[in-house]
Amino acid sequence: MFFKVDENLPAELVSLLNDAGHDAKSVLDQSMGGAADARVAEVCRVENRIVVTLDLDFADIRTYPPAQSPGFVVFRLARQDKPHVLLVAGRLVELLRTESPERKLWVVEEDRVRIRE
């Protein structure tokens, strides 16, 4: 799967996804730091990359309908420190072995993943 990791997540998440056999890039790889959400979503649509972010705006299915995009993975965590985010991201990578967020919204929490299509 192809992913675009937002700048609000640890850079190590890109490596974690790539090491698991996915193709992940950071918005910073394209000098898109600080880009508007709509711009990030459009670039991901063109590149067919799933957005991975902490930005809850991407969880608004009225603004960003999952069926009209490659997909969204939005972390919604009580703690957003790097070790905690990477711990939860490791669980996400395990789930990606059997499930796909393509054309879906995944809201990743500490103990579950909510899926909207």
- The span from the CA of 39 to the CA of 19, in Å, is 27
pLDDT, tens digit, 9 for 90 and up, residues 18-36: 999 999 999 999 899 999 9
Question: Structural domains in the chain?
Answer: 2-116 (3.40.50)
Structure tokens at 75: 């972390």
Which pLDDT score, from 0 to 100, does residue 44 have?
A: 96
Give the model confidence (pLDDT) of 38-67 as tens digits: 999 999 999 999 999 999 999 999 999 999
| pLDDT at residue number 30 | 87
User: Which neighbouring-strand residues pair with 111?
Assistant: none
